[in-house]
Amino acid sequence: FAPEDVQLVAGPPALRRRYLDMTISQVDRRYLRELQRYQRVLLQRNHLLRRVSEGSAQTTELEYWDQELAQSGAAIIVRRRGAVAVLAPQAAAAHQRLTGGAEQLSITYHEAWEQPEAAASERGEEGAVAAALRAALAAALPRELGAGVSLLGPHRHDLLFTLDGRPLATSGSRGQQRTAALALKLAEVQFLELSTVERPLVLLDDVLSELDRTRRRQVLELASSLEQAFLTVSDLEAVPQPFLASATVLQVEAGALKPLAARPQPP
């Protein structure tokens, strides 16, 4: 976790898509290949849409690129759905611990298109999504020609955060947004463990800033339950003595890490 991760909640959709892409690509090589393929296809299709709009190409030339976009897009969508199905409940559980159950976090994958009911496909969910996306692209062609870009596909999708049913990006406080972002990053730890059977090292940079005393305590208790975690703080006074007593405390001095002398105990 880093302070700028609050933008995963409050920032633009592109940041959340990039987060999903990076998280899934760490454990799924096919996802990375399909993502790279999708980006190439999207570039070519957008170029062709502009040519068709200008009258220098025929709409029939889009058929190949529609098929390619639908196939790669479906692979991405299905894997994102699967990842969010793991991340969302883990994030909600972490958020419950961080807030003492005072608030309910919900994370959903918003696809920004109405997927029609598709017939069962031999390729399962991925094939059904590809067929539905291909049909949706055909229906959206007039709008896409007017816009000159592809309006449907995973490049338009988003992660939606709600807190007690309200959109967190617009109605949440900075501390609430920060807590939700931290919950997501902690859920990522669980996701990586489940996917790789390895325990990742957890880095929490300036994690206590902008949190009230109760949430600071909850964060530290949760960090204590991790197998190994590194925390950075700008104010050591914000960290209770019992937590410090169970941790190795280092300070940066002249560009080097050095053990910090123990704080004197209050009389």
Assign 261 a pLDDT band (cuts: 50, 70, 90).
Answer: low
Tell me the domain boundaries of the chain: 3-200, 201-267
Q: What is the pLDDT of residue 122?
A: 47
Residues 105 and 116: beta-carbon distance below 8 Å = no
Q: pLDDT tens for residues 109-146?
A: 999 777 655 544 445 889 999 999 999 999 999 999 99
Q: Does the pLDDT at position 154 exceed 60?
A: yes
Q: What is the pLDDT of residue 242?
A: 85
Q: What pLDDT score does 94 carry?
A: 95
**pTM score, two decimals?**
0.89
Q: In which residue are the tokens 């098929």 written?
A: 67
CATH topology of domain 3-200: Glutathione S-transferase Yfyf (Class Pi); Chain A, domain 2 (1.20.1050)
Of residues 266 and 6, which shows the higher confidence score? Answer: 6
Among residues 214, 200, 14, the alpha carbon closest in space to that of 99 is found at: 214
pLDDT category of residue 201 using cuts at 50, 70 and 90: confident
State pLDDT tens for residues 1-54: 999 999 999 999 999 999 999 999 999 999 999 999 999 999 999 999 999 999
For 201-267, CATH number out of 3.40.50.300, 1.10.150.530, 3.40.50.1220, 3.30.420.40 equals 3.40.50.300
Burial of 129 (0-12, 13-18, 19+ CB in 10 A): buried
Mean pLDDT for 169-191 is 95
- β-partners of residue 163 are 105, 166
Average pLDDT of every residue of the chain: 91
Q: What is the pLDDT of residues 140-153, one digit of tens each?
A: 999 999 999 999 99
Task: Report the pLDDT value the prediction gives residue 215, as an integer from 0 to 100.
Answer: 86
Q: Please tell me the distance from the alpha carbon of residue 4 to that of residue 19, in angstroms, as a whole number.
A: 12
Where helices occur in 100-209 by DSSP H, the ranges are 124-147, 168-171, 174-196
Residues 16 and 160: their CA atoms lie apart, in Å, by 9
pLDDT digits (tens, 9 = 90+) for 216-254: 889 998 888 888 899 998 888 888 888 888 888 998 888
